[in-house]
Amino acid sequence: MGARSFDYSLHVPYAHVDKMGFVYYAHYFVYFEMARSAMFRQVGLPYMQLEERGVLLPVVVSHCEYKKPARFDDQITVTIHNLELRGPLFHVDYRVRCNGDLIAQGYTDHVCMSHSGRVLKPAKELIRLVEEDP
């Protein structure tokens, strides 16, 4: 994904904002997933197709650093700026921006897993996605 990156934008729902008026921290991981799923759709590799081929991508590590809050109705943009294969792990890096500011950044690590729970080698579609710089 070297020179390119993938952007996904949404408006913060009221449902996600806590009594401080800020997006509750766990929702960023849902935004990360929405960006991942949108990226897979955009590159012509819907995640459903991977699952139907028997490849699940459960998260094994998740991490987020929060710099500034996002508020209700703010338009935020999640950028996937790096994809890597690190041995069996599919690694995804995210940045979240709001009104021009970096407000959060984080990553998720995934394994390729069969429906029966066996860890698989990275699916060829993922290798292509990472290597060919979609």
Which positions touch a second copy (CB under 8 A)? 11, 13-15, 17-22, 24-27, 29-30, 33-34, 37-38, 41, 46-48, 51, 56, 58-66, 69, 72-73, 108
Cα 106 to Cα 14, 24, 58, 91, 95: the distances in Å are: 23, 15, 17, 11, 7
Cα 17 to Cα 9, 13, 67: the distances in Å are: 17, 7, 16
Smallest gap from residue 93 Cβ to a second copy (A): 15
Give the residue with the Cβ less far from a second copy, 41 or 128.
41
Smallest gap from residue 73 Cβ to a second copy (A): 5
Q: CB–CB of 89/78 below 8 Å?
A: no
Give the residue with the Cβ less far from a second copy, 41 or 131.
41
